[in-house]
Amino acid sequence: MSGVSRRHFLRLTAGTGAAVVLSSATPAALAEGGPRDTRVYVLVVDGCRPDEIGPVLTPHLHRLRESGTNFPAARSLPVMETIPNHVMMMSGLRPDRSGVPANSVYDPGEGAVRTLDRPSDLRAATLLDRLRAAGHVTGSVLSKEYLYGIFGERASVRWEPFPIVPVSGHAPDLATTDALIAMVHRADPALVFVNLGDVDRAGHTDLTGTTLRAARTAALWSTDLQVGRFVADLKRTGRWASSVLLVLADHAMDWSLPHRVVSLAGRLAADPALTGRVVVAQNGGADLLTFTGPEAERAAAVARMRSIAAGTEGVLSVHAPAELRLGPEAGDLVAYCRAGWRFTDPDVWSNPIPGNHGHPATEPIPFFVAGGHPAVRAGATSSAPARTVDVAPTVGALFGLPEPAGGYDGTARLDALVGV
């Protein structure tokens, strides 16, 4: 990442013996904390489907869900990808206000498709910086390099994901949990934003995903153990009674067979009016289409693009970005695929992985509030339509943080809380 400012580093040894390096802008953030007040841990089990949590495979997550307040109607928001939904969680704003609509967009300034992984890509304030400005210590423990990239130095205390698994670009949940526990022990932030990447990464690459989901199942089991380890540590160190855990996923996962692929780039290029003038930013189950020709021709070209995309087998629907509350960064059109399909663009070999998300089939997510804090409503279920964008207003309410300028797009899910 660019623009690294003066940073203070602290090397710790985790309970597993691994080294954990935290960084912060000020030494004070790494000082031992005072008497313990409300602590909130937003744990994102990346890519987890709500129906994958159960008493046998994921007993710790299951117990947490049963013990607190569950939101079974919870859903991810467009585009159902990791970066935009993490940004929505922390900002409480939809992408048309944050500037982050997808993982991958066409950047007209650079004339290329790129990942939104730069601190400057996120135009809105987040809880990490707003709570920090209000005098709280905040922390980020994000297993994926691009998340660490976009959230940059917003948190008072950060963990830079390490070691990184080649290809997947993420740190294993074991290391992430080591870092989380070390950060809580040492800096004890009021809010820690955590991404556990194993379940998502195993889901993407699981060639048995349409049937057996062998790797995925193993990852769920192992990630659940890590969550259990963190909860046990909070209890062991006397922190449980002041802790609120908000556990959710950023999106779900859907598996497709190799013949269920949609490649729009070639079909669009075959239209003489569009040849060489459409760029596709592929986001698994969603394609962002941008017309790069003359402005005067845009309206007609977009109509042709829409017609071609909508007429392609495997395409579920085509939307103007504004319909989905996506800003101009999303390009001219968003195409979704059907369940059991995936996009592979620009080429038919570009996306070989069976597990994908980004399309509406991957909207349902787990979303529950647990913990020993007296504000947590125990043993409850709410019909409320919780969304990823609701995390910031819910956590903000716990800290009495005022709404940002222009208000939140999300809703504080106070069903889960008592006396807030």
Binding site for other proteins (CB under 8 A): 50-51, 70, 72-73, 75, 210-211, 252, 316, 338-340, 359-364, 381-385, 415
Minimum separation from the CB atom of position 221 to other proteins (A): 19
Beta bridge partners of 22: 10, 159
Q: 233 vs 363, which CB is nearer to other proteins?
A: 363
C-beta of 2 vs 383, nearer to other proteins: 383
Q: What is the 3-state secondary structure (H, E, C) of 256-290?
A: CCCCCEECHHHHHHCCCCCCCCEEEEEECCEEEEE
Least distance between other proteins and beta carbon 69 (Å): 10
CB contact at 8 A, 358 and 79: yes
Q: How far is the CB of 260 from other proteins (least distance, A)?
A: 12
CB of 326: closest distance to other proteins in angstroms?
A: 18
Q: Which is nearer to other proteins, 107 or 415 (CB)?
A: 415
C-alpha to C-alpha distances, 7 to 30, 74, 118, 281, 307, nearest whole angstrom: 12, 38, 18, 34, 51
Nearest CA to 228 out of 389, 62, 405 is that of 62
Q: Which is nearer to other proteins, 205 or 210 (CB)?
A: 210
Task: Give the nearer residue to other proteins in terms of CB position, either 360 or 372.
Answer: 360
Q: Is 280 left (phi over 0), alpha (psi -120 to 50) or beta?
A: beta
In one-letter notation, the amino acid at residue 25 is A
| Shortest spacing between CB 386 and other proteins, in angstroms | 11
Cα separation of 155 and 159, whole Å?
10
Residue 175 or 412: the one with the smaller Cβ distance to other proteins is 412
Residues in the chain: 420
* Least spacing, CB of residue 305 vs other proteins, in Å: 21
Using DSSP's 3-state secondary structure scheme, residue 359 falls into coil
Cβ neighbours around 120 below 10 Å, total:
11
- In the complex, minimum distance from the CB of residue 73 to other proteins, in angstroms, rounded to a whole number: 4
Output the smallest distance, CB 255 to other proteins, in A. 9
Q: Tabulate helix, strand, coil % of the chain (nearest 5).
A: 35, 20, 45
When the beta carbons of 66 and 297 are compared against other proteins, the nearer one is 66
CA distance 305 to 311: 10
Which long-range contacts does 319-324 make (Cβ < 8 Å, 24+ apart)?
321/96, 321/101, 321/288, 322/96, 324/78, 324/79
From the list 94, 154, 107, 150, the residue with the least C-alpha distance to 126 is 154
Cβ-based nearer residue to other proteins, 124 or 315 = 315
